[in-house]
Amino acid sequence: MSGNFIYDFFMGSGLNFRLPGNIDVKMFAECRNSWVLLMVLTLSCAAEQYNELGYLTGNMIFMICAHLLYVNAVEKGEECIISTWDIYYEKFGWMLVYWNTCGVPFLYCMQSMYIQTVLKKQEHPRWVLMLMACILLLAYYLWDAINSQKNHFRMRRSGVPMEIIRRNAFPRVPWSHIENPRTLKGAAGELFVDGFYRYARKLHYTVDLVMAFLWGSACGFESFIPFFYFFFFLGHLIDRERRDEHRCKAKYGKMWDEYVKLVPYKFIPYVY
């Protein structure tokens, strides 16, 4: 606690509030509340478009599929969030409550609303939608597999039972779990340097941004509004990468320097 009432109210006072039945309020807000609301809003936009036009445009169908993939990934992989910075360190104050109740669902559904209210009958040619769908599926696969590899490693290191780590969920993408991963060990801890993480330290950020750009692209390029989320997210991830770099350098010291030599690229393998 800082002693400043406004700051502490905004940032929060406790890490993991629980309701009767051992329900973690913060985890519920981050996994269930925000993303289910997003899917409901997108489906509501689709329902209104169908009510107006009598059919769904290809652009709206693309957004439904894109959001369904993303929301389902969060729900099926909710065990992975336990090892993240949000759950471990961020207090549950007004900022997280507001963001997970209003920010995520209403900002992330901006493209669905734009398609329904502005584009209406306009839609991309079928070949463009097919190309976007192929890129989306590839980006989704990489994003899902990369995050699973990292978080499964963290969970095993923390002693989480395998029946939780490998619980049944759909889809369970190939190469999402590495049984005996290559790691870098030292007095400060252990770092994961296997799977997709041997190519770039933040590759999952890159493919997440690719999906965000595709969401905006579903609305065309005549307005900045559908791309607001992409640029907002870009700034957020750059800030997070710098924060992680600083924190890991302070924690691991020379071991982090060795890790950077093993995995020199941040976002794009062999490029940057």
What pLDDT digit, counting tens, does each position of 175-211 carry? 888 888 999 998 888 999 999 999 999 999 999 999 9
Which helix (H) or strand (E) covers residue 113, if one does? helix 110-114
pLDDT band of residue 89 (cuts 50, 70, 90) is confident
Q: Is residue 208 part of a domain?
A: yes
Residue 55 lies in a domain: yes
179: domain range?
Answer: 5-262
- Give the count of beta carbons closer than 10 Å to the beta carbon of residue 236: 11
Q: Domain for residue 29, yes or no?
A: yes
Which range (80-84, 122-126, 150-154, 268-272) has the least confidence?
80-84
Residue 155's pLDDT is what? 84
What band does 1 get if pLDDT is binned at 50, 70 and 90? low
Confirm whether 268 is domain-assigned. Answer: no
Q: How far is CA 258 from CA 101, 118, 269, in A?
A: 41, 51, 18
> How many structural domains comprise the chain?
1
Q: Which helix (H) or strand (E) element contains residue 135?
A: helix 126-157
The verdict on residue 267 lying in a domain is: no
269 within some domain: no
Task: Answer yes or no: is 270 within a domain.
Answer: no
Compute the distance between CA of residue 124 and CA of residue 115 in angstroms, rounded to an integer. 11
Cis geometry, peptide bond prior to residue 226 (ω within 30 degrees of 0): no
**In which residue are the tokens 């693309």 written?**
62
Assign 3-state DSSP to the chain and report helix, strand, coil percentages, each to 5.
65, 5, 30
Is residue 271 a part of any domain in this protein? no
The C-alpha atoms of residue 232 and residue 239 are separated, in whole angstroms, by: 11
* Averaged confidence pLDDT in the chain: 91
